[in-house]
Amino acid sequence: MALTISVALAAACCFALGNAIQHRAAGRIPSDHGVIQLVIALFSSRQWLLGSSFALSAFALHITAMNLGVVAVVQPFMLGAVLLAVPIRAFLDRARPTRAEMLWVAFTVAAIIVFVSAANSERETGPPHDGRALAMVMVGFTAAVLWASTANRFDRRAVRGFVYATAAGLTFGITAGLMKFVRHDGADGWVGLFSHWHIWALLVGSVVGTTLNQRSYQAANLSVVMPSMNSVNIVVAVAIGWVVFDEAPALTPVAFGIQLLCLLAMAYGLLRVAREEDALEAQHVEPVPEIRPQVRPSSS
């Protein structure tokens, strides 16, 4: 388990840096841009491309960690990327994180550690259930796209951000599960890997999830996006690990209760961290200068 956690933490570090840079770049793009305009604007941003390079490194490390261990261990540690992004954003903004913010980061990290310990699902598993995986992918991706398509029906930006964030969390949770197929499909080399549908669904899901994620950044503050997206992400990923890979978490009443409490604690900790981030960003917003009409002196 130690190697699995080490690789997962390395992936989280890369993802945190990429996430922080991408968030700054996406936040500068007008929210009224369509999908095509958004994609063009993002790929035209050097800052966003830099963040994407770190995100791709995190993607490769994430796949490695998934194939070294079980979903219930890896995916919660990937949540650490959100928490690591706090000091990284502060460094980029040349600011210092508040004491309250770092306390809530520590609180959430503690909840992650207890959750992983209580899940206790590090065990050998048999071959994955391909039919179950296909059904979950088709239903999940369809639900995510349909749910995201309703976002513009809501007038409040916070609600639109919640819709995009939960749709992104659903998509990312599915792609996390698909990562575990790389070891099985790649046993016969690169030809075998790309001859299966899993890798193509993984690539499509990654693109869709990233687009929805950038949409959520545009629509709402971090206090809305972070808790909703990451909570859904973990629940969906653990469910796929259970249904598709037989990675059942510990289901004794005590262990299940601890896992549920830790999941709620993670969501609440993320909420408090995000609120501190929003307050910090609000302090750095430059006020719009007041434009006063110039009064010309009357000619005598």
In whole angstroms, give the CA distance from residue 216 to residue 214: 5
The pLDDT of residue 94 is above 80: no
The pLDDT of residue 60 is above 80: yes
Token pair recorded at residue 279: 């307050």
Q: Is 143 domain-assigned?
A: yes
Residue type, 227: P
pLDDT of residue 147: 95
- Token pair 């289901």 is at which residue? 251
Token pair recorded at residue 211: 């687009």
Q: How many CA atoms lie within 13 A of 226 on its CB side?
A: 31
| Residue span of the structural domain in which 161 resides | 2-281
Q: Is 300 domain-assigned?
A: no
In whole angstroms, give the CA distance from residue 181 to residue 164: 27
pLDDT of residue 139: 96
pLDDT in tens, 212-254: 987 887 787 766 787 788 888 888 988 898 899 888 777 778 8
Provide the domain count of the chain. Answer: 1
CA-to-CA separations, 278 to 15, 285, 286, in angstroms, rounded: 20, 11, 14
Give the list of residues 6+ apart from residue 254 with CB closer than 8 angstroms, or none. Answer: none
The pLDDT of residue 120 is above 50: yes
Q: How far is CA 87 from the centre of its chain?
A: 17
CA-to-CA separations, 185 to 114, 127, 188, 212, in angstroms, rounded: 32, 11, 7, 28
In whole angstroms, give the CA distance from residue 252 to residue 171: 29
pLDDT of residue 287: 46
Q: Is 58 domain-assigned?
A: yes
The pLDDT of residue 27 is above 60: yes
pLDDT of residue 134: 95
The pLDDT of residue 17 is above 70: yes
pTM of the predicted structure, to 2 decimals: 0.74
pLDDT of residue 300: 47
pLDDT in tens, 130-182: 999 999 999 999 999 999 999 989 888 888 888 999 999 999 999 988 988 88
DSSP output for 266-297: HHHHHHHHHHHHHHHHHHTPPPPPPP-PPPPP
In whole angstroms, give the CA distance from residue 186 to residue 195: 10
Q: Is 291 domain-assigned?
A: no
Phi, psi (5° rounding) for residue 293? -65, 135
Give the list of residues 6+ apart from residue 132 with CB closer than 8 angstroms, or none. Answer: 243, 244
Q: Is 186 domain-assigned?
A: yes
Q: Is 293 domain-assigned?
A: no
Query: Which DSSP symbol is given to 150?
Result: T
Q: Is 71 domain-assigned?
A: yes
Give the list of residues 6+ apart from residue 110 with CB closer than 8 angstroms, or none. Answer: none
Q: Is 294 domain-assigned?
A: no
Residue 115 neighbours by CB distance under 10 Å: 26
pLDDT in tens, 210-222: 889 878 877 877 6
Q: When comparing pLDDT for 143 and 96, which is higher?
A: 143
* Nearest residue to 64 via CA among 51, 52, 77, 82: 77
pLDDT of residue 141: 95
